[in-house]
Amino acid sequence: MQMQSNSTCYDVVIIGTGVAGLATAIYLAEAAASKNQPISILLASKAGASDTNTSWAQGGIAAVASNEDSFEAHIEDTLDAGAEQNDLQIVRKVIEAAPEAMQDLIRWGIDLDKKEDGTYDLVKEGGHQFSRIWHKADMTGNTLQATLMHRVNQFPCIICKENLAIVQIEKDHESIFHIQAIHNNGVDPSYINLTPENSIQMHCKHLVLATGGLGMVYAKTTNQSIATGDGIFFANQLGARIKDLSFVQFHPTGLYESNQSSTYLITEALRGAGAILRNEQGVDFMPQYDTRASLAPRDIVSRAIMSEIKKSTIQHVFLDATVLSRSTIQQHFPNIQLACSQKLGIDISKQWIPVIPVEHYACGGIQVDTFGKALGVDALYAIGEVASTGLHGANRLASNSLIEGIVFAKWGASKMIEALKEEGLLPNLNFNFNPISIKKIDRAFVQHTLSNYAGIEKTTAGLKTGLNELTKVYDEASILTNWTLEDWENNVLCQVGMILFKDALSQTENKGVFFNVDLEKI
Ligand SMILES: Cc1cc2nc3c(=O)[nH]c(=O)nc-3n(C[C@H](O)[C@H](O)[C@H](O)COP(=O)(O)OP(=O)(O)OC[C@H]3O[C@@H](n4cnc5c(N)ncnc54)[C@H](O)[C@@H]3O)c2cc1C
């Protein structure tokens, strides 16, 4: 489909308005202002600007801040969770930069919980030896999102466009990115067609993929519906390297609702505060699996829960928060209390919460260097969950992802500002995009294929079956003459699913979140 449409040039286009995209825009604008350097930045989100996974982060942001804690201890915990598959240089760099990033957030006006003595109320989460999680009750992400959006709005050089779904990116021989988007005016994606009237074209010198996770490739996830792996799809098309896409973290405690695919998350902080996992018989089973019991890293807890579920007559285990005082629940977990009451009619101060592991976080992604630059494609950056920076290794430590998004945003912005100083303005451009070919793909089929064959426990035969099924479905699907944004996303999900299966089949060892029963455990 060839489009004639609005066409605009920017220095930097940032796809995504979660922590990674917003922080990148702010650091770019601040650096440009301090150098008196003109800059034009476009920030795009395919839904509303706040419809991000960032908004839903509950636990908090990890950064060392007390005398009893140390960088070494945070590094040790990160490596331990990541099965020592992390890049030690990056781990150290991120963890040492984290306190300064927290000061940036404070400078931008973030309102986090404090103790009566006025110091910040740091809490502990699964896998952390010390209390180092900065938070705002159980809705840290919401506060973070609002703070960053407020700061973004203070810079006229940042144009923020909501409901602008990027559907095509091409790069020419002069290293300019050409981007095609659908403006959907906030209408349900299933009803949006790409037409000349709603198509927008953009051109830029530096492109930032801050598109978040890929949870929607699975049937049950804690992610928002925007998390369809679009950044992985674009990066793969542009020739960037994708690393460890099958290192998918399953959160041990999604709220169990038998008919729901989108799952409400019960934060680790509840276990940090003392809540206990119990099986069908009421037994506190985690000490049998790990000395850290309910606070062991997520992969260990998720596999232990699946093992208990296999032995039981029910499809979930329980999280017992009745051991906490009513005031602790009300003060620290008001949203979880409300959600459990509204969704299941239970009072968590009196009744156990049914929980099950669900897809939660992509530890792998677009491989980047120490500035967040994608390997293999010049001037392309990947920041936030979409990136594989080396911080998480084979499993992400709780609350390490928001901080990763902020510090890489700062480093990426510094690199882009440096490069932009040398570059002139882009001329007004007209670019002929290649036709987009979209096939008729059934989303539920893709999601069930991934859930059945690329879940917590994989087998080599299952992975091969999954890959063959997706390949066959994709190859045999008919091309749509008219397609919607939802159709486009279904194609992306199918292709990202295939990349994930191929990555899983290429793994030769079990490590962290990756577990194939046919491989030896290291
Ligand atoms: C329920 C939940 C709780 C969590 N709790 C924590 C926590 O306590 N601490 C922690 O550190 N981490 C937590 N995480 C993980 C963390 O929230 C995410 O990893 C992080 O927010 C990702 O930020 P991001 O900016 O990379 O992506 P997101 O915040 O997901 O934003 C993605 C953006 O990309 C846009 N986008 C995607 N594709 C396109 C496209 N084609 N065109 C235009 N725009 C597009 C979306 O519209 C959106 O604006 C949690 C995650 C979930 C789901």
Q: In a mutational test of the pocket of ligand 1, which residue from 13, 26, 52, 53 has the highest number of ligand atoms less than 8 Å from its CB? A: 53
Does 331 lie in the same domain as 224?
no
Q: Is 377 in the pocket of ligand 1 (CB under 6 A)?
A: no
pLDDT at 297: 77
pLDDT at 6: 64
Domain range for residue 287? 256-357
Q: Is 401 in the pocket of ligand 1 (CB under 6 A)?
A: yes
Residue 53 lies in a domain: yes
Q: Is the model's pLDDT at 2 over the cut of 80?
A: no
Residue 516 lies in a domain: no
Q: Is the model's pLDDT at 465 over the cut of 60?
A: yes
| Integer Cα distance of 456 and 477 in angstroms | 29
Q: Collapsing DSSP states into helix, strand and coil, what is residue 120?
A: strand
Does 180 lie in the same domain as 265?
no
Does 280 lie in the same domain as 227?
no
Q: Is the model's pLDDT at 191 over the cut of 70?
A: no
Full-prediction pTM beyond 0.85? yes
Instruction: Collect contacts of 327-336 with beta carbons under 8 A, ≥24 apart.
Output: 328/273, 331/137, 332/123, 332/137, 332/138, 332/269, 332/273, 333/137, 333/138, 333/267, 333/269, 333/270, 333/273, 334/137, 334/138, 335/58, 335/137, 335/138, 335/139, 336/58, 336/138, 336/266, 336/267, 336/270
Task: Give the pLDDT band of residue 512 (cuts 50, 70, 90).
Answer: very high
Q: Is 272 in the pocket of ligand 1 (CB under 6 A)?
A: no
Residue 232 lies in a domain: yes
pLDDT at 3: 41
When pLDDT is averaged across residues 245-263 and rounded to a whole number, the result is: 87
Task: Give the pLDDT band of residue 33 (cuts 50, 70, 90).
Answer: very high
Mean per-residue pLDDT over the chain, rounded: 93
Q: Does the active-site annotation cover 298?
A: yes
Q: Is the model's pLDDT at 10 over the cut of 70?
A: yes
Does 24 lie in the same domain as 109?
yes
Residue 520 lies in a domain: no
Q: Is 151 in the pocket of ligand 1 (CB under 6 A)?
A: no
When pLDDT is averaged across residues 269-296 and rounded to a whole number, the result is: 93
| CATH code at position 19 | 3.50.50.60
pLDDT at 211: 98
Residues in CB range of 183: below 8 A, 6 or more apart: 161, 163, 164, 198, 199, 200
Q: How far is the CA of 383 from the centre of ligand 1 (A)?
A: 11
Q: Is the model's pLDDT at 105 over the cut of 80?
A: yes
When pLDDT is averaged across residues 88-96 and rounded to a whole number, the result is: 98
When pLDDT is averaged across residues 84-111 and rounded to a whole number, the result is: 98
Q: Is 15 in the pocket of ligand 1 (CB under 6 A)?
A: yes
* Choice among 23-37, 91-105, 188-202, 231-245 with the minimum mean pLDDT: 188-202
Does 231 lie in the same domain as 195?
yes
Residue 403 lies in a domain: yes
pLDDT at 187: 65
When pLDDT is averaged across residues 130-143 and rounded to a whole number, the result is: 94
Q: Is 512 in the pocket of ligand 1 (CB under 6 A)?
A: no
The count of domains in the chain is: 3
Q: How far is the CA of 151 from the centre of ligand 1 (A)?
A: 18
Q: Is the model's pLDDT at 1 over the cut of 60?
A: no
Atom of ligand 1 nearest to the CA of 387: 26
Does 153 lie in the same domain as 94?
yes
Out of 301, 335, 357, a domain closes at: 357
**pLDDT > 70 in the chain, percent:** 95
pLDDT at 4: 43
Residue 32 lies in a domain: yes
Catalytic residue among 132, 271, 298, 396: 298
Q: How far is the CA of 421 from the centre of ligand 1 (A)?
A: 30
* Choice among 215-224, 292-301, 362-371 with the minimum mean pLDDT: 292-301
pLDDT at 111: 97
When pLDDT is averaged across residues 206-220 and rounded to a whole number, the result is: 96
Task: Give the pLDDT band of residue 186 (cuts 50, 70, 90).
Answer: low
